[in-house]
Amino acid sequence: MTAHSLGVEIACDGPDQTSDCPDSAAVALRFGSLTAVQVRADGREDGWTRRRRNGRHVDLCPTCKPAP
């Protein structure tokens, strides 16, 4: 039997440190995106951002990302 990677899911870390994403958002699946870098690039096309919060990176969907 051979195991194959099914890819990576990137989920929203919520609007702040104490709250979960109200939409339980995740980056939409695209054919051919298997690594975290590829999936995050897909998310940026859909308006996702990656920020630092408390010394670590968090992924934020368009609903939870801070206003400019």
Centre a 10 Å sphere on the Cβ of residue 57 and count the other Cβ atoms it contains.
10
From first to last of its 68 residues, the chain has per-residue pLDDT tens of 787 777 788 999 999 989 999 999 999 888 888 889 999 999 999 999 999 998 999 999 999 987 66
Show me where the domains of the chain are located: 1-68
User: Is-contact 60 51, C-beta < 8 A?
Assistant: yes
Going by C-alpha positions, the residue among 38, 46, 43 that lies closest to residue 59 is 43
CB contact at 8 A, 23 and 13: no
| DSSP sequence for 14-59 | -SSTT---TT--BPPP-TT--SHHHHHHHHHHTT-EEEEETTEEEE
